[in-house]
Amino acid sequence: MKTSPLVIGNWKMNPTSVSLAKKLASDLKKRLARMTGTDVVIAPPYPYLETLRAVRSESKSFALGAQNVHDEKQGAHTGEVSIPMLESFDVTHVIVGHSERRAAGETDTEVNRKLLSVVKSGLTAVLCVGETKRDHAGHYLTTVEGQIRAALSSLGKAKLGAVVIAYEPVWAIGTGENATAADVHEMRLFIEKVLADIYGRTYATRVRILYGGSVNAKNARELFVEGTVRGFLVGGASLKAGEFIDIINATRT
């Protein structure tokens, strides 16, 4: 099944003010108005969602994403944000299992609960998987497979199309080092194989597999073409409108 490429900008805890967020979103909207062929999602910090929704308006130039979510709809969960809250801001994509969340203590069980809640609500779950280091014995493949199987536990094949998988090797996030196109290609094939083992090949091919890890304007095209991924989860480079647009352009055929 052919699908459009997808590029997600994860702003993390940036920028430092709502005025800067509005300026960046407005710049992106203007540049994206002249582009087609690639789906774009911006995941800003929670306080900026309303600002980005207002900037986006009816342009449909980009969709809104969230960087995390709680699996419960409401309750005594201080500091958390629920899916209904995100839906009120027109959020369509939710990142789950990001390596920074896992490093802070998030477990595979929590990732699974969040993913199931997101998919059940009708939103798209962006599942992040990746190893902390590579080894010659290939144990990193076992790590990624374990993350996928745990996160998708109890998810029926009919809902698999609501999942995007972003491969983000932890050793390449924010380090300036990135996996080679050959590394990315190998992992894309492996992830698809794991999905096929669980759901069958027909359903496995419905999942868009992205790469995230020090993606920039210089390496994006090679990673996209030779890495055979369907797009990117972009961190720091998504805070620079020009570079982010160049990365999006790299996914256009």
What residues act catalytically? 98, 168
How far is CA 216 from each of CA 38, 143, 155, rounded to the nearest angstrom?
Answer: 17, 26, 33
- 168: which DSSP letter? -
Is 149 within 8 Å of 106 (Cβ atoms)? no
Residues forming a β-bridge with 210: 166
What angle (nearest 5°) sits at the alpha carbon of residue 20, between those of residues 17 and 24?
140
b/e map 149-166, b = 16+ CB within 10 Å: ebbbeebeeebbebbbbb
- 126: which DSSP letter? E
What DSSP string runs through 210-242?
A: EE-SS--TTTHHHHHHTS--SEEEESGGGGSHH
The H or E element spanning position 64 is: strand 63-66
Would you state the structure tokens that stand for residue 39, as one six-digit string?
A: 């789906």
The torsion region of residue 146 among left (phi > 0), alpha (psi -120 to 50) and beta comes to: alpha
